[in-house]
Amino acid sequence: MNSSASTKERILTAAEALFAQRGFEGASLRQLTAAAGVNLAAVNYHFGSKDNLVEEVFKRRLDQLNARRLAALKQVAGHPETTLDDVLAAFIRPALDLSHDGGGGLFMRVLARAFAEHDDSLRKFLSENYGHVMRQFTTEFARLLPQLSKEELYWRIDLVTGALTHAMSGFGIIQRKSDVSEITHREQTAAHLIRFAAAGLSHP
């Protein structure tokens, strides 16, 4: 279809969509290359193996998402006037933006699949490429919620993570009402998630 894009990019885009729909094992290289309009052998030529392709699909979006989240966090972390909502916005808004621009509408669903997979190698890869972000956010949450024990804080962050991952994996489907502009709809969605997460984190 998109013959202007490079073969590598077309494979990555088709893989992202197919992984979101059928899973990492359910999507075959033959379906994938047919959808991308490239030869079957192109995957092993450009990526070496299917497992490497899976990692590259994650890296392409995750590097961007991590950078945006950390940049947003840096602007509020440590400041005395920073609120819980500010930190949550730094975590949530970049994911929402990724879903609407940059063509990453299906990536959050791929990420949710990866969270559900309890495969060790995939979890290790995610931990190496995602863990430092969660760690920095956790530090800031701990600063803003000093009344919580470490155990209590980890519990709540885990639950919030589950809620947000679940919700964001549905972004591909949820359609805004036609009488609301996209930017308004995105603001409303962000407000929903932020208020829910703040309530779950800071309840007495």
Partner DNA sequence: AATGAAATCAAACGATCGTTTGAGCATACG
Partner DNA sequence: CGTATGCTCAAACGATCGTTTGATTTCATT
Binding site for DNA (CB under 7 A): 1, 3-4, 6-7, 27-31, 38-46, 49-51
Q: Select from 49-57, 59-67, 117-125, 140-148 the region that touches a copy of itself (CB under 8 A).
A: 117-125
Of these partners, a copy of itself, DNA, none, which one is at the site of residue 132 (CB under 5 to 8 Å by kind)?
none
Asked if 50 is part of the footprint of a copy of itself (rule: CB under 8 A), the reply reads no
Asked if 93 is part of the footprint of a copy of itself (rule: CB under 8 A), the reply reads no
Question: What's the burial of 107, exposed, middle or buried (CB within 10 Å: 0-12/13-18/19+)?
Answer: buried
Instruction: List all residues 6 or more positions away from 106 whose beta carbon is below 8 Å from its beta carbon.
Output: 16, 17, 20, 172
**Rounded to 5 degrees, what angle do the CA atoms 113, 100, 84 make?**
80
Residues 119-158 within binding reach of a copy of itself (CB under 8 A):
119, 155-156, 158
**Of 62, 70, 114, nearest in space to 91 by CA:** 70
Least spacing, CB of residue 2 vs DNA, in Å:
8
Write out 12-38 in H/E/C secondary structure. Answer: HHHHHHHHHHHCCCCCCHHHHHHHHCC
Copy the structure tokens of residue 5: 């894009």
Of these partners, a copy of itself, DNA, none, which one is at the site of residue 109 (CB under 5 to 8 Å by kind)?
a copy of itself
For residues 39 and 188, which CB has a smaller minimum distance to DNA in the complex?
39
Other CB atoms within 10 A of residue 180 CB: 12
**Amino acid code (one letter) for 7:** T
For residues 67 and 158, which CB has a smaller minimum distance to a copy of itself in the complex?
158
Say which DSSP state 141 is in. Answer: H
Distance of CA 11 to the CA centre of its chain: 20
Asked if 79 is part of the footprint of a copy of itself (rule: CB under 8 A), the reply reads no
Asked if 165 is part of the footprint of a copy of itself (rule: CB under 8 A), the reply reads yes
Name which position in 11, 12, 20, 95 contacts a copy of itself (CB under 8 A): 20
For residues 45 and 155, which CB has a smaller minimum distance to DNA in the complex?
45
Site residues (vs a copy of itself, CB under 8 A): 20-23, 25-26, 109, 112-113, 115-119, 155-156, 158-167, 169-170, 192-193, 195-196, 198-200, 203
